[in-house]
Structure 1
Amino acid sequence: MKLIAFEVRDDEREIFGQLSAEFGWETELVEEILTLDNAERVRGYDGVTILGHSLLTPEIQDKLMEMGISCCSTRTVGYDHIDVQHARKIGLRICNSDYPPTGVADYTIMLMLMVLRHYKQALWRGQVNDYSLKGLRGRELHDLTIGVVGTGRIGKAVIQNLSGFGSKILAYDVHKDPEVAEKAQYVDLETIYRESDVISLHTPLNDSTLYMINRDTLARMKDGVVLVNCARGELMDVEALIWGIENHKIGALALDVIEGESGIYHRDRRTDILQNKNMAYLRQFPNTVMTQHLAFYTDTAVASMVRCAFEGIASFTSGQPCRTEIK
C-alpha cells in the first residue's frame, strides 16, 4: 500500500512514521496543500490524505480520479473544504477523522473560567506591574446557570466537566441522551436563551444552526450573558457579537473559532495584511478572549486524526465499511 499525505505538519511526522511501520505502508509526506498544480504527484498511490486548507473542488476531485485515486481521507473532523456532493457523484470515497471529546471539553471549561475571572485584563495589568483589583472581581461557576447547546460527544463531555462545579446545567439537542439527562435538564432553545448566564455551543454547522446567535436571539438572552464557542465560527453572526459587546448585552466572549477564520488560523500571518476587520475589532475588547482554533489540538487528538487517515484508507482499499465515511 502506498499513501501520500498533503499539508503534513511537523507534529504529525513522527506519528506518520509509527503508523507507516505498523500498517506496513509506504508513505510520502508533503508539506504543501493539494492543488491542481501538484495533483500529478498522487499518481501511483492507493490513497490520499489532506488537512483543511486543501480544497477538494470538483476539478481536483476529477483530477484525483484521473490519476487512479478513488479514496481520500481528511485529517479533520469538519469537511467544509470538500465538495461532498461531487465526490459522491463521481464515486470518490471520502472519510473524515475523529478524536476523543475530552480535549475540547477541557478547553471549553478553561475559556469559561478565563472570561469569568477576567484573566485577559489581569494578564495585561501584570505586564505593566499594575496589580490592582478594581474591575477584576469574578463570578463562580457554582452560582451560574450554564446552557449547553448540542449534547453530542463533546457537549456531553462538557456537561460531565460542569457537573463537578455544581452549576445548574440546561441542555438542548434534537436528540436527547439519557446519560446527559442525569446531569442536566433538557429544555428548548428559548429557555436556554432566557435563563442561562453562560451559553456554550457544541452543535454542528448546518442550515438550521447558521448564525443561530444573532441580534434577535441575543435580545432574548440575559443582559451580561457569557458566550463560548469551540464549535464553528459561523454559528455566530460576528456583526451581532460586536453589537452585543458595544451595547453591554454580552458580558464576555470566549471564542476559539470565528466567522472568516479560513486562511488565517493555523498559519503564520505576522507580516501580512489581514482582510478581516471584524476579527481584529472583536479581539481588542477587554472582555473578549480569542484563540486560534486550537481547542482540539492535543497530542491525543493529533495521533487519533492521523490514525483515522490510515484506518479509513485501509477500509476503502480492502472493500470494508469505513466508520468515518462521509456519505
Structure 2
Amino acid sequence: MKITIYNCRSDEAEYLEGFRRKHGVELFATKESPTAETVGLADGCECVSIITTPMDETLLKTYRDAGIRFLSTRSIGYDHIDLKAAEQLGLHIGNVSYSPNSVADYTVMMMLMAVRKVKAILLRSANQDYSLRGVKGMEMHNLTVGVIGTGRIGRTVLQNLTGFGCRLLAYDLYPNDSVRKIAEYVTLPELLKQSDLITLHMPATRENHHMINRDTIAQMKDGVILINSARGSLIDTDDFLDAVENGKIGGAALDVVENEAGLYYNDLKCDIMKNRGLAVLKSYPNVLVTPHMAFYTNQAVSDMVENSIRSCILFSKGEKNPWQVV
C-alpha cells in the first residue's frame, strides 16, 4: 500500500521511516500542497494525507477522478475540507487524534499568562519599565473558569485545573460522566454569566460559527478573560475587538484567529499583514496572540503522522476507522 503525504514538514519526516517499517506501507512524502498540478504525486494511491490546505469541491473532484478514495487530514479540525462536497462525490474523509495534553497544557499556560498580564509585563520590561502600574494580576483559586467543549482536550484542561482550586463550570451538547466528578455542567448562558475566565474547546462547524459574538459577549461578566486554542472562526473578530476596546473583555489569549490560513507557519516579517483583525489584536497589551502552536509537541506531531497513516490503512482494509468522518 502506498500513501502520499502532502505538505510534509521536516519535523514530520523524521518519523516516517519508523512508521513505514512498523506498519509495512510505502510512504511518499512531499513538501508540495495538494493541488490540481500536484495530483500526479498521488499516482498509485487510493489514500492521501494532507494537513490544512483548503479542499473545495473542484479540488476534491480532481483527486476523486485521479483514483483517490480516502483523504486523511493530519489535524483534529477538518473545517478546511468541504465535507458536503466530499460526500456527494463519494470521497471519504478522516481526521486524526493526538495527545490532548499538548493543547491542554498550552491552554493552562495561556490562562496563567492572561490572568497575570504577562504580555504587558514583558513589553514594558523590554523597555526597562519595571513599574507596577496596570499589571496587577489575579489568582486562579479566586476565579470561576468556564470550559466550553468537554471532548478529550476540554476534559484534560479541566483535569489540569483541579490543582488550582478554582470553581469549574462546563458546557457541552453531550455531557461526560467523568467531567461531572470535577466540574458542574450548566447551560451556555449560565456559563457565560458566571465565568471570570472562559476557554473554548470544540471543532469549527456551521452551527458554532461566531458563537462568541456581540450578543454572547454581552452576557459575560465585565472584564472577562477569553482563551481560544480551538478554531478562530468561533469568535467574531469585529465584535471581539469592540469588546476589548470598551473594556467588556479584560484580557485574552488566542492561539487561533479568523482567516489565519496562508499566514501561520510562514515567514512574513517583510510583508504587509493581510489580516487586519490579527494586526489589531497584536497591538493590544492585554491580548496575547500565538501562531496556532498549542498542538506543537514531539508527542503530538508523532501522533498526527502515525494516526493519519493508521487511518489510511484501516480504510484500505475496510475495517472500522475511528477517525473517519465521511
Whole-Å separation in 2 of the counterparts to 1:212 and 1:62: 31
Whole-Å separation in 2 of the counterparts to 1:165 and 1:91: 48
Q: Is there any run of 5+ residues in structure 1 with no aligned partner, and where?
A: none
Q: CA deviation at 1:255?
A: 0.5
Whole-Å separation in 2 of the counterparts to 1:181 and 1:108: 21
Whole-Å separation in 1 of the counterparts to 2:206 and 2:313: 33
- What is the 5 A alignment of 1:68-87? 68-87=67-86
CA contact (8 A) 1:39 1:60 kept: no
Q: Tell me which residue corresponds to 1:290.
A: 289
Whole-Å separation in 2 of the counterparts to 1:197 and 1:176: 22
Q: CA deviation at 1:271?
A: 2.2
Q: CA deviation at 1:205?
A: 2.1
- Other structure's SS at 1:164 match: helix
Whole-Å separation in 2 of the counterparts to 1:171 and 1:195: 11
Q: 1:209-264: CA deviations, max 9, x gaps? A: 21111111111211111011111111111111111111111110110111111111
Q: Tell me which residue corresponds to 1:219.
A: 218
Q: CA deviation at 1:85?
A: 2.0
Is the counterpart of residue 141 in structure 1 residue 124 in structure 2?
no
Whole-Å separation in 1 of the counterparts to 2:295 and 2:60: 28
Structure 1 consecutive aligned stretches of length 4 or more whose deviation exceeds 6 Å: none
Please, which moves more after superposition, 236-245 or 211-220? Answer: 211-220
- Other structure's SS at 1:111 match: helix
Whole-Å separation in 1 of the counterparts to 2:202 and 2:242: 23
Whole-Å separation in 2 of the counterparts to 1:233 and 1:288: 14
Please, which moves more after superposition, 20-29 or 108-117? Answer: 20-29
Q: 1:143-186: CA deviations, max 9, x gaps? A: 11111111111111111111110001111112111211111111
Q: Tell me which residue corresponds to 2:113.
A: 114
Is the counterpart of residue 174 in structure 1 residue 182 in structure 2?
no
Q: Is there any run of 5+ residues in structure 2 with no aligned partner, and where?
A: none
Whole-Å separation in 1 of the counterparts to 2:206 and 2:58: 25
Percent identity (aligned): 42
Whole-Å separation in 1 of the counterparts to 2:78 and 2:203: 11
- What is the 5 A alignment of 1:60-99? 60-99=59-98
Q: CA deviation at 1:203?
A: 2.3
Q: Tell me which residue corresponds to 1:244.
A: 243
User: Judging changes above 3 Å, is the alpha-carbon distance between structure 1 residues 190 and 290 closer, same or farther for their aligned structure 2 residues?
Assistant: same
CA contact (8 A) 2:256 2:291 kept: yes
Whole-Å separation in 2 of the counterparts to 1:254 and 1:273: 23
- Other structure's SS at 2:93 match: strand
CA contact (8 A) 2:4 2:48 kept: yes
Q: 1:273-320: CA deviations, max 9, x gaps? A: 222111101111110000011111111111111011111111111121
CA contact (8 A) 1:74 1:96 kept: yes
Q: CA deviation at 1:76?
A: 1.2
- Other structure's SS at 2:14 match: helix
Q: 1:66-123: CA deviations, max 9, x gaps? A: 3222222111111122222222223222211111211111111100100111111111
- Other structure's SS at 2:15 match: helix
CA contact (8 A) 1:312 1:325 kept: yes
CA contact (8 A) 2:79 2:204 kept: no
Whole-Å separation in 2 of the counterparts to 1:41 and 1:155: 38
Code of the residue aligned with 2:257 in structure 1: it is I
Code of the residue aligned with 2:2 in structure 1: it is K
Q: Tell me which residue corresponds to 1:40.
A: 40
CA contact (8 A) 2:243 2:249 kept: yes
